Amino acid sequence: MKKWINADPHDIVMLKAETNYTVYYFRNGEKYISGFTLKIHEEKEELKSFIRVNRSHLLNPEHIKKLKTKDKVTRILMSNGVETHVSRRRNPFKTAL
């Protein structure tokens, strides 16, 4: 299995952990499943600009459409329509809100 696929990081919307696999979500709607954990991918130099917002999501900040905060819970809407929550401990947007 390959640790890294040959893709432009700008085309990757987000990575999602699925047990011991990682699913890449691309701008064109395609998905790619990797046999490595999200932590392995998070350490790749090409993905250093991505933001880990909770245990299972690594997001490309270029594809964040909207931030919503209600009752101290922050949710993010991505360009592909996926909405995810931001962990209280991993909230990089606290100072921005």
In a domain, 79, yes or no: yes
> Is 60 among the domain residues?
yes
- Structural domain includes residue 13: yes
Query: Containing domain of residue 19, as a range?
Result: 9-86
What pLDDT score does 93 carry? 65
- In a domain, residue 95? The reply is no
Q: Which of 26, 83, 61 has the alpha carbon at shortest distance from 34?
A: 26
CB 55 within 8 A of CB 15: no
- 14 inside domain: yes
Contact 75, 66 (CB under 8 A): no
Residue 3 has pLDDT above 80, yes or no: no
pLDDT score for 25: 96
Over residues 11-23, mean pLDDT: 95
CA angle 71, 74, 75 (to 5 degrees): 125
Q: Which amino acid is at 50?
A: F
Q: What does residue 72 show for φ and ψ, rounded to 5 degrees?
A: 65, 15
pLDDT in tens, 45-93: 999 999 999 999 999 999 999 999 888 889 999 999 999 999 987 776 6
Instruction: Note whether residue 34 is domain-resident.
Output: yes
> Would the pLDDT of 7 be above 90?
no
The number of folded domains in the chain is: 1
Q: Give me the CATH number covering residue 66.
A: 2.40.50.1020
Kindly state whether residue 42 falls inside one of the protein's structural domains: yes
On whether residue 92 sits in a domain, the answer given is no
